[in-house]
Structure 1
Amino acid sequence: MGIVDKAKNAAEKLVGRGKETVGKHTDNTALETEGKKDQAEGNLKSAGEDVKDAFGK
């Protein structure tokens, strides 16, 4: 996985964590859910890149 991809995935997870936290503290369930979704997407992309790396593609 390239450094740029790692940074993008980490940023997506971080933004998601921030949205989730703000959503929890403001009782905004939509924002909290969006944050969880962003984190899941970042994790999924990281896992996909790890699989690519494992097979040398």
Structure 2
Amino acid sequence: MAGSQKAKGKAEQAKGKAKEAMGRAVGNERMEAEGRMEGAQGDARQAKEKTKDVFKH
């Protein structure tokens, strides 16, 4: 389960970065902000899973 959550976090980070870049390229501030938010969600998910791993060992 943890592996799938880590993968989901990485996917959210990548999707967020792409969306942010696309929003910046077309001048859409809302899309850029949504991309930053999705990236932050991915970062949070990754941090949570890393914390779990630390306490697991």
TM-score, length of structure 1 as denominator length: 0.89
Paired residue for 2:6? 6
Amino acid at match of 2:50: D
Structure 1: where are the runs of 5+ without partners?
A: none
Aligned residues: 57
Deviation at 1:5, TM superposition (A): 1.4
Residue pair 2:6, 2:45 contacting (<8 A) in 1 also? no
Q: Identify the residue that residue 49 of structure 2 maps to in structure 1.
A: 49
- Normalised by the size of structure 2, how large is the TM-score? 0.89
User: How large is the RMSD of aligned CA atoms in angstroms?
Assistant: 1.6
| Alpha carbons 2:16, 2:37 under 8 Å: kept | yes
Q: Report the counterpart of residue 18 of structure 2 in structure 1.
A: 18
User: Which 4+ stretches in 1 moved above 3 angstroms?
Assistant: none
Higher share of residues assigned helix:
2
Taking only the aligned residue pairs, the percentage that are identical comes to: 37
In structure 2, stretches of 5+ residues that fail to align are none
